[in-house]
Amino acid sequence: MSLRFRLNLTISLTMFIIVSVGALFITHNARRSVLEEVRSSVNMALQLIDAGLQQTGGDEARLRAWLSELAHLENTRHLRIHVQQLPEKIIKLDSPPRDKAENPVPSWFAWAVTPELMTGEKMVESSGGNPIRISVEADPSDEIAEAWREAEDFLYLMIILAAAVYAVVHFTLGRAFVSVGVILQGLEGIEQGNYEKRLPHLDLLEFDRISQAFNHTAEALTRSRRENRALTQQSLAIQEEERRYISQELHDEFGQSLSAVKVMAASLKKRVDDDGLMAVEAIIESCDHMFIEVRAMMRRLRPMLLDELGLRASLEDLIAHWRNRNQRVEVDFHYDDEVEQYAGDAKIHLFRIVQECLTNIVKYAGARQVSIDFRLSARTPLHSIILDISDDGKGFNPEQTRSGFGLLGMKERIASLGGEFDLTTRPGGGVAITVRVPCPREPG
């Protein structure tokens, strides 16, 4: 449930409760006042009837005249008066039902405030024999209509006030949520690696503090990423330099010494007996074996072909040796010839990326098919080299897999060239890596 929805719900419920409690309070008061009014009307009517009876002084003619007056009373507020000569002759049913009020009372209000039926009666002996019953019955409809008129205004006022409070709170929250949205956008940017994102100055003090703290954090992240990148690139450069040095040493020192050993052994061939010859042959064979091993090491450390014959030849050599060791995997290699002219300083980096990908494929993928595709994308103002490497192996879940130095190194190599690196994979779905490297303006 979103915070905005929860706050709206809470405010709506609070307003509903306030209006409901107000309505209950008003209804309760109205009921009490209707009850008191009606009760006092009935009591008053009974007292007046007592007084009227006393004034007749038991005189039959005066009693009849008074009863007639009573029977003709009209518009008796809150009351219905029945004058009845028993056993059943009704002399007059006064206060006939009135016209409905202009502003009809809602049935729920009438139901809530109508008191229980309230009645009173007096029996009068007449000289004619049959007693006369004067009954007074409460009629609260006038009082209820009046109570509704008062309650109605109050209820409308409460509803308008509640709506106004709701609107003000909603507007204020709406403004606050704009700031929350801005902060969320910034955090999402950071999550996606966009550390350059900065938040603006925000109106509300608390949000502005968050915005400033965010900007400081983003600043620190940018700095540490810059430092990390510089460190990684430096370590890649040192690594490359070391490899070049070791490869050179192997070639110059070890290779020369090995050649010397082999020449000396060969010169001994004619001077030794049969046993000695076998030993000399063994030394020469070992020297040849060591030559092969050393050359393989040198190739891994620094592909000489890269400087001499270029990227295509080095890759073909790398792939051929790799295929020798992994004969069950098909490698589909495609290389656009124009790439060679534009590769320049990127050659060693592109070579290392293919080398690392092939190593990873052996280590983790269990693939049957590998595709390596180099092409030139002609775009103004700069062309770029695009390298696609994909395998049909196990793939992996990037969320749950810790990147080693291999993938990190690839990214850093590409970053140092100002290019883009993209890796797509999912468990069971192989791995596809796409690299885009901007080329120098002129072909090399």
Ligand X SMILES: Nc1ncnc2c1ncn2[C@@H]1O[C@H](COP(=O)(O)OP(=O)(O)OP(=O)(O)O)[C@@H](O)[C@H]1O
Pairing of the two strands 384-391 and 369-377 = antiparallel
* Residue 394 interaction partner, one of ligand X, Mg ion, none, beta carbon < 5-8 Å per kind: ligand X
- Between the alpha carbon of residue 222 and those of residues 189, 215, 226, the distances in Å are 13, 10, 6
How many chain residues interact with ligand X (CB under 6 A)?
A: 17
Please report whether residue 360 would count as binding Mg ion according to CB under 5 A: yes
Tokens in use for 14? Answer: 């609070």
Q: How far is the CB of 443 from Mg ion (least distance, A)?
A: 32
Residue found under tokens 């190593």: 359
Grouping H, G, I as helix, E, B as strand and the rest as coil, residue 94 is: coil
Please report whether residue 395 would count as binding ligand X according to CB under 6 A: yes
**Residue 104 preceded by cis peptide, ω within 30:** no
* Residue 438 interaction partner, one of Mg ion, ligand X, none, beta carbon < 5-8 Å per kind: none
Q: Is 115 exposed, middle or buried (0-12, 13-18, 19+ CB in 10 A)?
A: middle
What gap in Å lies between CA 436 and CA 444, rounded to an integer? 18
Q: How far is the CB of 405 from Mg ion (least distance, A)?
A: 7
Q: Which is nearer to Mg ion, 360 or 384 (CB)?
A: 360
What gap in Å lies between CA 289 and CA 194, rounded to an integer? 52
**Which stretch in 8-16, 189-197, 374-382, 403-411 sits in contact with Mg ion by CB under 5 A?**
403-411
* Dihedral, CA of residue 22, residue 28, residue 33 and residue 35, to nearest 10: 160
With contact defined as beta carbons under 8 Å apart, do 145 and 103 qualify? yes
Q: Which is nearer to ligand X, 344 or 406 (CB)?
A: 406
With contact defined as beta carbons under 8 Å apart, do 158 and 18 qualify? yes
* Residue 128 interaction partner, one of ligand X, Mg ion, none, beta carbon < 5-8 Å per kind: none
Q: What angle do CA 322, 326, 329 make, to 5 degrees?
A: 105
**Which stretch in 57-65, 252-260, 399-407, 430-438 sits in contact with Mg ion by CB under 5 A?**
399-407
Q: What's the sign of the alpha-carbon dihedral 257, 263, 269, 274?
A: positive
* Residue 186 interaction partner, one of ligand X, Mg ion, none, beta carbon < 5-8 Å per kind: none
Q: How far is the CB of 409 from Mg ion (least distance, A)?
A: 8
With contact defined as beta carbons under 8 Å apart, do 396 and 431 qualify? yes
* Residue 395 interaction partner, one of Mg ion, ligand X, none, beta carbon < 5-8 Å per kind: ligand X
Radius of gyration of the chain, Cα coordinates, nearest whole angstrom: 52
Q: How far is the CB of 348 from ligand X (least distance, A)?
A: 17
Q: How far is the CB of 5 from ligand X (least distance, A)?
A: 41
* Residue 303 interaction partner, one of Mg ion, ligand X, none, beta carbon < 5-8 Å per kind: none
Chain-centroid distance, C-alpha 415:
31
Q: Is 440 exposed, middle or buried (0-12, 13-18, 19+ CB in 10 A)?
A: middle
Write out the binding residues for ligand X, residues 359-388 only, by CB under 6 A. Answer: 360-361, 363-365
Write out the binding residues for ligand X, residues 397-436 only, by CB under 6 A. Answer: 401, 403-407, 431
What gap in Å lies between CA 58 and CA 192, rounded to an integer? 105
Residue facing ligand X at closest CB distance:
404
**Which stretch in 5-13, 16-24, 260-268, 358-366 sits in contact with ligand X by CB under 6 A?**
358-366
Q: Which is nearer to ligand X, 154 or 364 (CB)?
A: 364
Please report whether residue 391 would count as binding ligand X according to CB under 6 A: yes
Please report whether residue 406 would count as binding Mg ion according to CB under 5 A: yes
Q: How far is the CB of 357 from ligand X (least distance, A)?
A: 7
Q: Which of 355, 430, 431, 417 is nearest to 386 (CA)?
A: 417
Residue facing Mg ion at closest CB distance:
406
Q: How far is the CB of 404 from Mg ion (least distance, A)?
A: 5
Q: Which is nearer to Mg ion, 26 or 357 (CB)?
A: 357
Q: How far is the CB of 394 from ligand X (least distance, A)?
A: 5
Q: For binding to ligand X (CB under 6 A), which residues are involved?
A: 360-361, 363-365, 391, 393-396, 401, 403-407, 431
Q: For binding to Mg ion (CB under 5 A), which residues are involved?
A: 360, 406
